[in-house]
Amino acid sequence: MLGQAVAAAATRLGHDVVALSRAELDVTDAAHVRRVVAAAEPRAVVNCAAWTDVDGAETAEAAATAINGEGAGNVARAAAEIGARIVHVSTDYVFDGVREHAAGGSGEPWIESDAVNPIGAYGRSKLAGEEQVAAATDEHAIVRTAWLFGAGGRNFVDTMLALGHERDEVSVVTDQVGSPTWTVHLAEALVELSERSDDVGVLHAAGAGACSWYELAVEVFDRAGVRCRVLPTTSDRFPRPARRPAYSVLGTERDEAPVLPPWQDGVAAYLTEKAVVAR
């Protein structure tokens, strides 16, 4: 989902792009990664490869970490060997979601210097990737983002639209709050960061503002003109294998961090894109 958006954004901006699918490049194969990256001779590598099955990671943490941890390190080390910049995508799930732990106290967004404390296997695997990327090269940008939606992959917006056309009402949780992010907005930021050699370290980039999954569902139905009632509920009514951070809104303390448009703008733009494709 994100990889397609990054390739499209980079192409629009005039870059020569080598976009590789999982079938073409297994990031867990270090030798293959080195050969492929060296052959492409890139100035920058944007790594969008990831194990994203949050619940599945709970029973397959080693497999998730092989991709999100060691795999991320393989890509970063291959980039470092040829002097290329690495832009790596990470997640809000490296935080525990307990608001008091964020700088400034309750309700404040998580910033780059806040202490990480993942509460699930997926978050731990992504944190391992951050550590390996940082250790591989100084020329890195680790971009934490959140709640992605966009074309080319399963996402909450599409799920809600499908349910909204099938049902009169849906129940959505109010006790998980985050920063929904349209992949196109994020992709443009990642490409921009790939061009900026001086901006290194961890940066946060997510849709501006915050909402609950309930509020996101309401926004989607309202903008799409779908007549489906959204009922508020809580996470304990929908137990899942992996715990989710209750509050994972991302902010930034760094002037260099990309500023993305409000999450509502992302929803509107994505729905417009979907309508154009449908026609």
Exposed/middle/buried for 10, CB within 10 Å: 0-12, 13-18, 19+?
buried
pLDDT for 175 equals 94
Radius of gyration of the chain (CA): 18
Q: What are phi and psi of 134, to 5 degrees?
A: -65, -35
Cα–Cα distance for residue pair 59/63, rounded to 1 Å: 9
Do 177 and 249 form a contact (C-beta atoms < 8 A)? Answer: yes
Specify the pTM.
0.95
Question: Where do the structural domains in the chain lie, given as residue ranges?
Answer: 2-278
pLDDT for 169 equals 97
Cα dist. 258→16, 100, 139, 193, 194 in Å? 22, 25, 17, 8, 12
pLDDT for 99 equals 74
Sequence letter at residue 200: V
Q: Is 93 a catalytic residue?
A: no
Q: Which fold has domain 2-278?
A: Rossmann fold (3.40.50)
pLDDT for 79 equals 98
Q: Give pLDDT < 50 ranges for the chain.
A: none
pLDDT for 104 equals 58
Catalytic residue, candidates 93, 122, 214, 270: 122
Residues 224, 262, 100, CA angle at the centre, nearest 5°? 115
